[in-house]
């Protein structure tokens, strides 16, 4: 599962890395992004890539209660193409979710130690995401979920699942504005390669979504 991540890079680096013209609303670095919050995402509208904020926790168009989104912050890449909640999004509503690290909790004896994880060779990356538009009477929401997969060897020492991080060369293909068979999208995800990761333990400050400061990403050795 992926339940917390960060986006701390300067705005100009985000624009350059993803080939964007601008960010439509004010940008602020985030050190402890949590489910239910708005997160920076990129779609392709058929003419160009466009960045915007999506609420983290996908609400299917048919849902009657928007609270279902809190149960859908992640979608298993192995089965999303078969699930009613995600099949439509897999077909035509794929997005990039911008990040520069994510957190996971490693079991150590009688406690869980939070760890910050990121690719070795790049500062910014994108999770493979799905998005949806939900509308009920006058209320309208644009929401998303992060796809996950079985942990690789590195992540397996920390947690059994991990988010799908798209190789830089595959980002454009993922959000290409074409309708695809969900099974085809599943095969695309299955064939992705994964670059090497790094990690370090951080403070339990990240356990609470109320904590939002640089101390969340500071190595635990510097906090002691």
Q: Is 95 a catalytic residue?
A: no
Query: Model confidence over 47-102: pLDDT tens digits?
Result: 899 999 999 999 999 999 999 999 999 999 999 999 999 999 999 999 999 999 99
Residue 2 binned pLDDT confidence (cut-offs 50, 70, 90): confident
Q: Is 104 a catalytic residue?
A: yes
Query: Model confidence over 140-173: pLDDT tens digits?
Result: 999 999 999 999 999 999 999 999 999 999 999 9
Q: Give the integer Cα–Cα distance in Å for 59 and 149.
A: 21
**Residue for token pair 């609420």:** 55
Residue of 17, 95, 104, 132 with catalytic role: 104
Long-range contacts of 88-91 (CB under 8 A, 24+ apart): 88/60, 88/61, 88/132, 89/58, 89/130, 89/131, 89/132, 89/145, 90/130, 90/180, 90/182, 90/185, 90/186, 91/179, 91/180, 91/181, 91/182, 91/185
Q: CB atoms < 10 A from the CB of 175, how many? A: 23
What lies within 8 Å, CB to CB, of 122 at 6+ separation is 168, 195
pLDDT of residue 193: 87
Q: What are the residue boundaries of the structural domains of the chain, listed by start? A: 5-223
Residue of 2, 95, 144, 216 with catalytic role: 2
Residue 218 confidence (pLDDT) above 70: yes
CATH superfamily to which 5-223 belongs: SOS response associated peptidase-like (3.90.1680.10)
């Amino acid at each position: 599962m992926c339940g917390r991540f960060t986006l701390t890079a300067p705005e100009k680096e985000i624009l350059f890395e993803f080939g964007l013209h601008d960010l439509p609303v004010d940008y602020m670095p985030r050190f402890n992004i949590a489910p239910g919050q708005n997160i920076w995402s990129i779609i392709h509208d058929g003419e160009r890539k466009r960045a915007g904020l999506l609420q983290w926790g996908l609400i299917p168009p048919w849902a009657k209660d928007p609270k279902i989104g809190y149960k859908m912050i992640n979608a298993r890449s192995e089965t999303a193409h078969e699930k009613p909640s995600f099949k439509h999004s897999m077909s035509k509503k794929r997005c990039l979710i911008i990040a520069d690290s994510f957190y996971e909790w490693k079991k150590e004896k009688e406690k869980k130690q939070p760890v910050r994880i990121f690719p070795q060779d790049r500062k910014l990356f994108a999770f493979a995401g799905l998005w949806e538009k939900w509308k009920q009477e006058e209320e309208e929401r644009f929401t998303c979920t992060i796809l996950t997969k079985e942990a690789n060897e590195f992540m397996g020492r920390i947690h059994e699942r991990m988010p799908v991080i798209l190789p830089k060369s595959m980002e454009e293909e993922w959000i290409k504005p074409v309708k695809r068979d969900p099974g085809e999208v599943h095969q695309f995800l299955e064939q992705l390669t994964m670059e090497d990761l790094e990690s370090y333990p951080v403070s339990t400050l990240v356990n609470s979504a109320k904590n939002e400061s640089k101390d969340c990403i500071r190595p635990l050795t510097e906090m002691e």
